[in-house]
Amino acid sequence: MRVTWAALAFAGMAAMSCADTSAPKAQALWSLTQLNGQPFMARATLSLTQEGRIAGRGPCNSYSGIQTAQFPDFKVRGVLSTKRACPELQAEAEYFSALRMMTRIAIMDDTLTLEDATGRQMVFTKTE
């Protein structure tokens, strides 16, 4: 019986160390439609690819990073992107700056919303 309890204790600790950082129904490609209540005219995408990982495409460059908080909290760290120049570099800077500030995630139907502590939002729609 001791072996069984030890195995259960180990399994419980392992499960706690692999906390679920993904949102239900989030594993899709999401396109940014609004930034802080204004239409976002450039193309930018977000994908929560696997537990704790994000990836996507800003207006100019592909990126990836780590999402470290448990749903519904959202905290991005270690965002890396390619360094290609394009006419939408200002929109890309705004996108990455906003993404790093977001603290909450909500998903309703085909809409994913990220929000920061001051109420600023990034609104994404599911892309098929």
Low-confidence ranges of the chain (pLDDT < 50): 1-21
What is the value of pTM for the model shown?
Answer: 0.78
- How far apart CA 47 and CA 27 sit, in angstroms, is 7
Sheet strands (E) in the chain: 29-35, 38-39, 45-50, 53-57, 62-67, 76-81, 104-108, 111-115, 121-127
- Quick one: pLDDT at residue 70? 86
- How far apart CA 102 and CA 81 sit, in angstroms, is 18
Domains, the chain, in order of start with CATH, read 21-127 (2.40.128.270)
- Quick one: pLDDT at residue 12? 39
Maximal C-alpha separation, the chain: 66
Residues pairing with 63 in the sheet? 56, 81
Burial of 113 (0-12, 13-18, 19+ CB in 10 A): middle
Helices (H), 1-128: 2-17, 89-101
- Joined together, the tokens standing for residue 27 give 């594993």
- Quick one: pLDDT at residue 9? 37
- Quick one: pLDDT at residue 45? 97
Q: Who's near 11: CB < 8 A, 6+ residues apart?
A: none
